[in-house]
Amino acid sequence: MNNLQVVVDAGHGGTDSGAVSSSGVKEKDLTLMIAQYMYEEFQKRGVPVTLVRSTDETVSPTERVDRILAAYGDNPNVVIISNHINAAGSATQGAEGAEVIYALRDDDTLASNILTALGNANQKMRKFYQRRYPSDTSKDYYFIHRNTGKNTHPVIVEYGFIDNPEDLNKIQNNYKKYVDAVVDAVIATAEGESIPTLPESGNYYVVQNGDSLWKIANKYGITVNELKDLNGLTSNNLTVGQILEVPGLDNTGLTYTVQNGDSLWKIANKYGMTVDELKSLNGLTSDNLSVGQVLKVSNDIADSDEKTYTVKSVDSLWSIANRFGTSVNTLKSLNGLTSDVLSIGQVLKIPTDLDNNTYTVKAGDSLWNIANKYDITVNELKDLNGLTSNILSIGQVLKVPSDGNTYIVKSGDSLWSIANRFGTSVNTLKSLNGLTSNNLMIGQVLRLP
């Protein structure tokens, strides 16, 4: 499957709710949520992808097949992922786990990789299999397999059982992890790789194409030699799919292993902290460090009730005020400043009434999960904060839409088009946002009535 192209299908929809849990959760809603996230993940990986339905609409089997084939045609580069949630019924109550069903025209490689990846993501693996049409066993039972050409690679992924409350809860809480696993498996299969089964305990990393010991060691805050010692490696050679043991995060937060050339200042600056904060967090009484020493580097300030910011090189009162959506005068008044002069390492108080309009980056965050939290796209979040890359640092404060009804201006927008879209008038928008002209900027956040 070179030149991979993917069609993502959200099973059921509209008047066809699919299976329904005892608590009223509908399969069609779960599959749409899963499919939308999957679509974005393939986009992030640079894989051409099409979504069969993006809203809660009724799509007949014929229309569904037409949309699938219209995306990229009937060719061997195309993988079709039809997302579903299983239901066992009264006969087999308590059933749990994932299943993958693949077409008669395919071998089991893709289905096996997907199921293994879901197992690695801590969902129970049931089986991968084919199902034949009872009256003609040369044909597939499911139309998504039977009618989608002769060359595409369709799979039905059943993530678990909606009529098992525990399994349903796992799906709702872990669907992003499950989707990530499926996406990884599809890409790995397209590249001719297999998904290994991870050991049941410990912290592990599966080597990907382009990885190196240095890259992996750096990801987990250890040295190459420490990584080699941990895994009993005698050379720097790696193979795709190789499983490496890696350090996990301790129970108190993120940790960092001191490397040659490190200093308290260098580490504190890396994690948006002051030297005193770093020393206090680790109970240090001197500035001496030893190579291999493990330091706690969770930024307690980011989680405290009082919002603060540590001044860094090239900062100014204007840039800090702009970053937090406040004014220079407010910052000066709050901090008792009589001039605009700042010093590196100086800790400034930030107005706490801005909490609903800012977000402080924490360990494990990405632009995608923050954007998803506030129901905007990654590009909108980047435009809003003037970001040119996807790199974030712990403790970084991002502007986000407020809890109120807001809209982020995109390329091509005008006050007229936005007003028309939300059923209001240009004058109402201008009045609500204190605008004196019709000019807009990309990334500008507008309040809506």
Q: Rounded mean pLDDT of 113-137?
A: 91
Could you give the dihedral angle defined by the CA atoms of residues 141, 63, 97 and 21, in that order, rounded to the nearest 10 degrees? -110
Q: How many domains does the chain have?
A: 5
User: pLDDT tens, 312-346?
Assistant: 656 778 767 666 656 677 788 777 888 888 877 67
Share of the chain above pLDDT 70, in %: 79
Token couple for 86: 């299983």
Rounded-to-integer distance, Cα 429 and Cα 434, Å: 8
In a domain, 199, yes or no: no
What's the CATH number where 138 sits? 3.40.630.40
> What is the pTM assigned to this prediction?
0.52
Q: What is the 3-state secondary structure (H, E, C) of 89-120?
A: CHHHCCCCCEEEEECCCCCCHHHHHHHHHHHH
Both 228 and 315 in a single domain?
no
Residue given tokens 């308590």 in the structure block:
94
Rounded-to-integer distance, Cα 229 and Cα 176, Å: 33
Whole domain around residue 169: which residue ranges?
5-190
pLDDT confidence band for 8 (50 / 70 / 90) = very high
Q: What is the 3-state secondary structure (H, E, C) of 25-40?
A: CEHHHHHHHHHHHHHH
Both 371 and 419 in a single domain?
no
Does the structure show a pLDDT above 90 at 109? yes
Both 180 and 35 in a single domain?
yes
Q: Rounded mean pLDDT of 435-449?
A: 74
Does the structure show a pLDDT above 50 at 252? no
Both 140 and 217 in a single domain?
no
Both 23 and 171 in a single domain?
yes
Both 185 and 67 in a single domain?
yes
Give the lowest-confidence range in 175-184, 186-195, 292-301. Answer: 292-301
Both 95 and 237 in a single domain?
no
In a domain, 196, yes or no: no
Q: Of 89, 85, 115, 121, give the one whose Cα is nearest residue 102.
A: 115
Both 43 and 104 in a single domain?
yes
Both 283 and 167 in a single domain?
no
User: 230, 246 in Cβ contact below 8 A?
Assistant: yes
In a domain, 316, yes or no: yes
User: pLDDT tens, 389-431?
Assistant: 777 766 677 777 654 567 777 767 788 877 777 777 888 888 7
pLDDT score recorded for residue 305 = 38
User: pLDDT tens, 264-285?
Assistant: 877 776 665 677 777 877 778 8
In a domain, 124, yes or no: yes
Whole-Å CA distances, 360 to 133, 254, 275, 308, 404:
54, 15, 20, 11, 19
pLDDT score recorded for residue 312 = 67
Considering 5-14, 238-247, 331-340, the range whose residues carry the highest mean pLDDT is: 5-14
In a domain, 83, yes or no: yes
Q: Rounded mean pLDDT of 363-388?
A: 74
Both 334 and 365 in a single domain?
yes
User: pLDDT tens, 294-311?
Assistant: 777 654 333 333 466 767
Give the lowest-confidence range in 153-157, 198-202, 211-215, 240-244. Answer: 198-202
Both 391 and 281 in a single domain?
no
pLDDT score recorded for residue 101 = 96
Rounded-to-integer distance, Cα 301 and Cα 397, Å: 12
In a domain, 10, yes or no: yes
pLDDT confidence band for 4 (50 / 70 / 90) = very high
The three-point CA angle 254-259-264 to 5° equals 70
What's the CATH number where 414 sits? 3.10.350.10
User: Residue 296 forms beta bridges with which residues?
Assistant: 255
In a domain, 433, yes or no: yes
In a domain, 383, yes or no: yes
Both 265 and 229 in a single domain?
no
Whole-Å CA distances, 278 to 40, 159, 283:
37, 43, 9
Instruction: Decide which of 229, 264, 295 is a domain's last residue.
Output: 295
Q: Rounded mean pLDDT of 71-79?
A: 96
Does the structure show a pLDDT above 90 at 25? yes
Rounded-to-integer distance, Cα 351 and Cα 359, Å: 13
